[in-house]
């Protein structure tokens, strides 16, 4: 048996619209692992924000904060923090526009604003159950792997202004901010480089705008049925909606699941 490496986004891919893990997805991941394949997470979330999913699925390798913090078998193999001087410029620019920021490391998230409705609505949508820590000075000395910018629009203006940063919207009120050149695809390449797994044995599943580079870079890529058209065009295949056992069906399409399974997902 040739070992495969399969990357899964979390929100809208592993987790459905209710932020629940479908039974068919849990069963599919277990079958992949039982067959000896390596399953990894590729997400915009920071590690502290998906520990319960890791534990439930027994996944010990992941690309987090959109590629800036990569772990294999519980060991950190790559870190790409944003430099404090760049963050200082972003802090000033966003403050002039009344756009709050939340800075993430691997253990927590730190807000420069005590209370803001955009922060509450976007963070609550993740259903993590963890409040943001108020610490407006954290970015000066702490390692920041990703920043969340909170605004209803205007990310194009930020992209034009900061050529050392990428701005990708993930919520109606929030935008992921990562170092220029940093992405899930780059983080994945770091893990692939270490594992030395051939390109044709690597798979990826995703649904969001932050998955586009990943889906383009992986030979066997699957966009979820709930993804937007621009995301679907980036993938080599499209599976069903996350709410319609999309992971299970995509893995069946890829020939990675055996015939001996329950009919729960059929």
pLDDT, one tens digit per residue, over 180-193 is 989 999 999 999 99
Q: How confident is the model at residue 1 (pLDDT cuts 50, 70, 90)?
A: low
114 Cβ contact partners less than 8 Å away, ≥ 6 residues apart:
134
Reported as a single tens digit per residue, the pLDDT across 214-256 is 999 999 999 999 999 999 999 999 999 999 999 999 999 999 9
Given a contact cutoff of 8 angstroms between Cβ atoms, the answer to whether 208 and 12 are in contact is yes
Domains of the chain in sequence order: 5-79+183-253 (3.40.50.1000), 84-179 (3.30.1240.10)
Place of tokens 């993590």: 128
Report pLDDT for 263: 43
Angle between helices 246-253 and 23-34 (to 10 degrees): 40
Q: Decide if 215 contacts 235 (C-beta within 8 A).
A: yes
What pLDDT, on a 0 to 100 scale, did the predictor assign at position 179? 96
Q: What mean pLDDT do residues 155-181 have?
A: 95
pLDDT range class, residue 259, cuts 50, 70, 90: low
Q: pTM for the full model?
A: 0.92
- CA 89 – CA 92 distance, rounded (Å): 5
Q: How confident is the model over 204-220, as a mean pLDDT?
A: 97
Specify the pLDDT at position 114: 93
Res 144 pLDDT > 50 = yes
Which residues on adjacent β-strands are paired with residue 221? 204
Give residue-wise pLDDT tens across range 30-53: 999 999 999 999 999 999 999 999
The candidate with the shortest Cα–Cα distance to 103, out of 125, 121, 119, 127, is 119
Catalytic residue numbers, as ranges? 9
Confidence of residue 150 (pLDDT cuts 50, 70, 90): very high
Q: Which residue has the higher pLDDT, 129 or 101?
A: 101
Single out the residue of 83, 241, 228, 95 nearest to residue 168, CA to CA: 228
Please give the average per-residue pLDDT across 128-145, as a whole number: 95
- For residue 21, what pLDDT band results from cuts at 50, 70 and 90? very high
Residue 261 confidence (pLDDT) above 60 = no
Q: Are strands 101-104 and 75-79 parallel, antiparallel or unpaired?
A: unpaired
Q: Give the model's pLDDT for residue 64.
A: 98
């Amino acid at each position: 048996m040739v070992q495969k490496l399969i990357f899964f986004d979390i929100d809208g891919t592993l987790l459905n619209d209710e932020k629940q893990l479908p039974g068919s997805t849990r069963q599919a991941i277990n079958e992949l692992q039982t067959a000896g394949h390596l399953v990894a997470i590729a997400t915009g979330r920071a590690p502290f924000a998906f520990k319960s999913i890791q534990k439930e699925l027994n996944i010990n390798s992941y690309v987090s904060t959109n590629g800036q913090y990569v772990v294999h078998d519980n060991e950190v193999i790559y870190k790409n923090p944003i430099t404090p001087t760049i963050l200082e410029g972003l802090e000033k620019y966003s403050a002039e526009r009344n756009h709050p920021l939340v800075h993430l490391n691997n253990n927590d998230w730190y807000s420069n604003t005590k209370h803001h409705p955009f922060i509450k609505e976007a963070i609550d949508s993740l259903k993590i159950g963890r409040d943001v820590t108020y610490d407006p000075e954290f970015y000066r000395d702490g390692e920041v792997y990703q920043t969340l910018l909170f605004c209803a629009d205007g990310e194009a203006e930020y992209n034009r202004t900061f050529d050392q940063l990428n701005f990708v919207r993930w919520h109606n009120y929030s935008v992921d901010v990562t170092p220029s050149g940093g992405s899930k695809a780059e983080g994945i390449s770091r893990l692939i480089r270490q594992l030395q797994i051939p390109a044709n044995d690597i798979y990826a599943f995703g649904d969001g705008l932050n998955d586009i580079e990943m889906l383009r870079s992986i030979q066997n890529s699957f966009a979820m049925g709930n993804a937007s058209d621009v995301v679907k065009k980036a993938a080599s295949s499209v599976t069903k909606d996350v709410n319609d056992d999309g992971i299970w069906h995509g893995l069946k399409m890829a020939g990675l699941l055996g015939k001996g399974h329950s009919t729960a997902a059929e």
